[in-house]
């Protein structure tokens, strides 16, 4: 009987770690329908819900990060780490993976550490232009490090780095053929320009505050707005659904159609969002969150801005939003150049390239 491929994929905490992991699993299943795939995540984090929804089994570790200030959680960290290493060892011994993939997040730390110690090949998938501490530590013993940005040899061993890009939802690859469908789905006016506002699945407080503050200005520009405020903020902002040309959504289940319908995009600059927006290729204003580790969203956005592919406004600069937006709205040449330049940075085959690297590490068929 032919041996089937066994893979553990570990990562989570945020959508930016979970959705790439699921995309990798889907590509593996597409190539190897008989493959056995197990996810390892952090208990009580969103992956424990999202991964089973995608059709995969998941085991949870009792693990969390270190807080920047002295807290009870920090005192528990050594105990959680020992507990997670013990459980990861148990999972790996039972599942016997051919390769272990880490997409970032605290759960990937113990899982890949145990795999490395047992001589099982490991792949680190780093989404950001500035890596988190977990991936920096894991990179020392990983076999391959799949990245989305240039110049990461500052953080990782150069000979292990493969520039693949970040996995994105496959439905985005067809977004340019869906404009009419998107306009119909969101019941938009074909004659008006559409602004799509996205702050991540949970929402972004400062972006929501900005749109509320600038709503009359935006309506004065004769645009229509698809505003994804996030489920945490929907109660606060849903009243603006009564305004003409404004739609407020807690979450957008059809991101492909939202992107297709949009003429301009205002977005956070998490790694997954940036990778998606490179493929979508619409004029974009990034508003990075400053409240993330190592300010990596600003670095992600800057990597695009430096190539003239987008505009960026820091949260400290939001009082200039109306000037920046109105200038962009009136400058079709600028819109075209931003679109062309950001598309140049797209890596649409990222998921396939990552699975190529995984495949190359499986010793029994190489």
How much is the pLDDT for 366? Answer: 46
Whether the predicted pLDDT of 176 surpasses 70: yes
Question: What are the residues facing 101 on neighbouring strands?
Answer: 9, 123
What global pTM score does this model have?
Answer: 0.86
Answer yes or no: is 169 a known binding residue: yes
Cα–Cα distance between 181 and 198 in angstroms, integer? Answer: 20
Q: Are 259 and 175 in contact (CB under 8 A)?
A: yes
Mean of the per-residue pLDDT values of the chain: 91
Task: Give residue for tokens 């991964």.
Answer: 51
**Poorest-confidence range of 66-75, 84-93, 242-251, 260-269?**
66-75
- In this structure, of 167-171, 224-228, 242-246, 334-338, the range with the lowest mean pLDDT score is 167-171
> In angstroms, rounded to a whole number, what is the distance separating the alpha carbons of residues 301 and 274?
7
Q: Coil, strand, or helix at residue 193?
A: strand
Q: Which residue has the tokens 């067809």?
A: 174
Residues 6 or more apart in contact with residue 275 via CB below 8 angstroms: 127, 148, 165, 166, 167, 168, 346, 347, 350
- Residues with Cβ within 8 Å of 347's Cβ and at least 6 positions away in sequence, in order, are 148, 163, 164, 165, 166, 275, 278, 353
119 by DSSP, 3-state: which?
coil
Residue 291: DSSP 8-state: S
Q: Is 297 annotated in some ligand binding site?
A: yes
How confident is residue 36, by pLDDT bands cut at 50, 70 and 90? very high
Number of H helices, E strands in the chain: 14, 13
- DSSP conformation class of 4: P
Does 14 appear as a known binding residue? yes
* 360 annotated ligand binder: no
Mean per-residue pLDDT for 107-118? 94
Instruction: Please state the domain extents for the chain.
Output: 6-167+348-359, 170-344
Average pLDDT score over residue span 27-49: 92
Which pLDDT band, with edges at 50, 70 and 90, does 4 fall under? confident
pLDDT in tens, 137-159: 999 999 999 999 999 999 999 99
pLDDT at 1: 38
Q: Do the two domains 6-167+348-359 and 170-344 of this chain adopt the same fold? A: yes
pLDDT at 20 over 70: yes
Least confident among 138-142, 259-263, 291-295, 356-360: 291-295
The CATH class for the domain spanning 170-344 reads alpha beta
Give me the CATH code for the 6-167+348-359 domain, please: 3.40.50.2000
Mean pLDDT, to the nearest integer, of 71-75? 62
Q: What is the structure's pLDDT at 223?
A: 97
Q: Which of 199, 213, 237 is nearest to 321 (CA)?
A: 213
């Amino acid at each position: 009987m032919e041996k089937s491929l066994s893979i553990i994929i570990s990562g989570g905490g945020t959508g930016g770690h979970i959705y790439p992991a699921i995309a990798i699993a889907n590509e593996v299943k597409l190539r190897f329908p008989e493959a056995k795939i197990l996810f390892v995540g952090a208990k009580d984090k969103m992956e424990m819900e999202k991964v089973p929804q995608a059709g995969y089994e998941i085991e949870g570790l009792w693990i969390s990060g270190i807080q920047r200030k002295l807290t009870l959680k920090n005192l528990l960290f050594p105990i959680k780490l020992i507990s997670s290493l013990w459980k990861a060892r148990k999972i790996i011994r039972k599942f016997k993976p051919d390769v272990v993939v880490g997409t970032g997040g605290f759960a990937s730390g113990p899982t890949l550490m145990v795999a490395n110690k047992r001589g099982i090949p490991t792949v680190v998938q780093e989404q950001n232009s500035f890596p988190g501490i977990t991936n920096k530590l894991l990179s020392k013993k990983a076999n391959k490090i799949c990245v989305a940005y240039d110049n990461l040899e500052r953080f990782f061993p150069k000979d292990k780095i493969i520039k693949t890009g970040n996995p994105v939802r496959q439905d985005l690859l067809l977004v340019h053929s869906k404009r009419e469908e998107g306009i119909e789905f969101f019941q938009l006016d074909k004659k008006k320009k559409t602004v799509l506002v996205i702050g991540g699945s949970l929402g972004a407080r400062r972006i929501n505050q900005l749109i509320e503050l600038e709503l009359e200005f935006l309506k004065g520009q004769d645009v229509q707005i698809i505003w994804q405020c996030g489920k945490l903020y929907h109660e606060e902002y849903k009243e603006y659904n009564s305004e003409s040309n404004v739609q407020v959504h807690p979450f957008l289940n059809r991101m492909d159609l939202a992107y297709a319908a949009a003429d301009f995009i205002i977005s956070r600059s998490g790694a997954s969002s940036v990778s998606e927006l490179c493929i979508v290729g619409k004029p974009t204003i990034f508003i990075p969150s400053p409240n993330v580790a190592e300010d990596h969203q600003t670095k992600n956005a800057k990597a695009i801005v430096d190539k003239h592919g987008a505009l960026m406004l820091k949260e400290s600069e939001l009082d200039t939003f109306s000037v920046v937006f109105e200038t962009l709205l009136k400058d079709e040449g600028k819109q075209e150049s931003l679109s062309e330049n950001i598309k140049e940075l797209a890596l649409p085959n990222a998921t396939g390239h990552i699975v190529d690297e995984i495949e190359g590490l499986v010793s029994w068929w190489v």
